[in-house]
């Protein structure tokens, strides 16, 4: 008899979920490129884990595809019903269930105001697809644990396909994308290290998670996971925002989890941040980075061998394992956090 949680099973399913999703979505690249022709701005609309996937998409579009991109605010559609002119906008609406009313309504609003709309959802025939010009249906399969894991990385894969479709040809990026399922499989081997790190965090009530640029969404997602699953008050912040004030909260009782890709322009700053965190009497714990970054951390889990632009697809996996292990150690059921349900409706 196994005692494995649903969340642990779904974390382990990610290599296959990603391979299926990439196979299904890559053929849509030329259709996406055609839809985006004539648009000058990509706006992402999402909530929760989908929002964290969209933050990755936002950076990927600007850095990899060289397309101006930003996060849209759903409440401008749903509550203020603002009559914006969205001609020239490619709106990307992301919802795992495809039924989150707020995002479905926002997608419809954007389309009515002249935007081209791409829906990203894990459910064929979702309401979201009705109002979209193209729907990217991720192939994560049914997700039963409340905390999103395989549906989140499948959304990241959809973002990567979008980046590939809208950007210039980039052989290194394409080769990296093909290697993602294998790299995620390798990341599953960090489970014993994640268990040790969970031991260290067993009693922690407050935590700061930080990453920057392409890895900011990873930091936010890890902060969300630890908050919703382990009830730790967690601030998920960019390295830069952390320096502008919140760094004052770090102390011996408040460790910092730092996430970084193995290369790219953010790595030196993240390594320096690990040293600053240690210098404040707090504990820097790392995920990813290179040798120098890991040495600057008190403990670290290795990250994937992927270019920075693709690292987020695998970099979250040790964090998922950490979250699941920590929830169990705290006597919590990671599959069903208190008061959360799978399809979140934003009421009010």
Question: 318-347: which residues touch a second copy (CB under 8 A)?
Answer: 337-340, 344, 346-347
Could you tell me the maximum CA-CA distance found in the chain, to the nearest angstrom?
58
117 makes contact with a second copy (CB under 8 A): no
Size of the site for a second copy (CB under 8 A): 74
Return the residue of 239, 255, 293, 314 that touches a second copy, per CB under 8 A.
239
Residue with tokens 């019903």, as numbered in its chain? 81
- Residue closer to a second copy, measured from CB, 114 or 192: 114
Q: At its nearest, how many Å lie between a second copy and the CB of residue 90? A: 13
- Residue closer to a second copy, measured from CB, 10 or 102: 102
Residues 16-45 that bind a second copy (CB under 8 A): 40-41, 43
Residue with tokens 């990755």, as numbered in its chain? 56
For residue 347, is it left (φ>0), alpha (ψ between -120 and 50) or beta? beta
160 makes contact with a second copy (CB under 8 A): no
x/- letters, 177..216, toward a second copy (CB under 8 A): ----------------------------xx-x---xx---
- Residue closer to a second copy, measured from CB, 192 or 246: 246
85 makes contact with a second copy (CB under 8 A): yes
Q: At its nearest, how many Å lie between a second copy and the CB of residue 86? A: 7
Token duo for residue 89: 């906008």
Residues 50-79 that bind a second copy (CB under 8 A): 51, 58-59, 62-63, 66-68, 70-76, 79
296 makes contact with a second copy (CB under 8 A): no
Q: What's the CA gap between 72 and 78, in Å, rounded? A: 12
Q: What's the CA gap between 17 and 234, in Å, rounded? A: 28
- Residue closer to a second copy, measured from CB, 7 or 19: 7
Our CA dihedral for 251, 252, 257, 263, rounded to 10 degrees, sits at: 80
282 makes contact with a second copy (CB under 8 A): no
Residues 86-105 that bind a second copy (CB under 8 A): 86, 88-89, 102
Q: At its nearest, how many Å lie between a second copy and the CB of residue 262? A: 16
Whether the Cβ atoms of residue 82 and residue 103 lie closer than 8 Å to each other: no
CB atoms within 10 A of CB 23: 11
Return the residue of 194, 247, 259, 300 that touches a second copy, per CB under 8 A.
247
From 175-183, 191-199, 227-235, 316-324, span contacting a second copy (CB under 8 A):
227-235
- Residue closer to a second copy, measured from CB, 62 or 195: 62
Token duo for residue 24: 């299904």
118 makes contact with a second copy (CB under 8 A): no
Length, in residues, of the chain: 348
232 makes contact with a second copy (CB under 8 A): yes
From 126-134, 173-181, 246-254, 290-298, span contacting a second copy (CB under 8 A):
246-254
141 makes contact with a second copy (CB under 8 A): no
272 makes contact with a second copy (CB under 8 A): yes
* Interacting residues of 341 by C-beta distance below 8 A, sequence separation 6+: 146
285: helix, strand or coil:
strand
Question: Cα dihedral sign for 99, 7, 338, 312?
Answer: negative
Report H helices in the chain: 6-12, 14-25, 29-36, 48-63, 74-78, 101-112, 127-130, 150-166, 171-187, 191-200, 216-230, 239-243, 267-279, 291-296, 312-329
């Amino acid at each position: 008899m196994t005692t494995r949680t649903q969340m642990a099973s779904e974390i382990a399913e990610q290599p296959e979920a990603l391979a299926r999703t990439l196979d299904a979505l890559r053929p849509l690249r030329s259709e996406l490129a055609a839809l985006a022709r004539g648009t000058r701005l990509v706006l992402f609309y999402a909530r929760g884990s989908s929002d964290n996937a969209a933050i990755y998409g936002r950076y990927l579009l600007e850095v990899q595809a060289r397309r101006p991109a930003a996060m849209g605010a759903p409440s401008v559609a749903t509550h203020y019903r603002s009559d914006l002119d969205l001609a020239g906008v490619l709106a990307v609406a992301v919802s795992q269930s495809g039924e989150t009313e707020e995002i479905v309504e926002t997608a419809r609003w954007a389309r009515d105001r002249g935007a081209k709309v791409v829906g990203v959802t894990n459910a064929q025939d979702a309401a979201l697809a009705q109002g979209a010009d193209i729907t990217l249906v991720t192939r994560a399969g049914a997700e039963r644990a409340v905390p999103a894991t395989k549906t989140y990385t499948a959304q990241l894969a959809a973002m990567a396909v979008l980046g590939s479709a809208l950007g210039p040809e980039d052989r290194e990026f394409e080769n990296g994308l093909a290697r993602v399922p294998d790299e995620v499989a390798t990341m599953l081997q960090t489970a014993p290290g994640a268990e040790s790190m969970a031991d260290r965090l067993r009693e922690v009530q407050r935590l700061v998670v930080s990453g920057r640029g392409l890895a900011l969404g990873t930091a936010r997602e890890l902060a969300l996971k630890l908050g919703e699953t382990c009830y730790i008050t967690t601030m998920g912040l960019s390295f830069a925002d952390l320096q502008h004030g919140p760094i004052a909260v770090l102390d011996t009782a408040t460790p910092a989890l730092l996430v970084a890709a193995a290369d790219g322009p953010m790595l030196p700053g993240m390594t320096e941040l690990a040293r600053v965190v240690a210098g404040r009497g707090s504990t820097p714990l790392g995920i990813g980075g290179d040798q120098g970054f890991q040495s600057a951390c008190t403990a670290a889990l290795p990250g994937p061998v992927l270019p920075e632009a693709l690292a987020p697809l695998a970099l979250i996996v040790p964090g998922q394992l950490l979250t699941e292990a920590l929830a169990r150690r705290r006597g919590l059921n990671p599959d069903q956090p208190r008061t959360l349900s799978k399809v979140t409706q934003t009421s009010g």
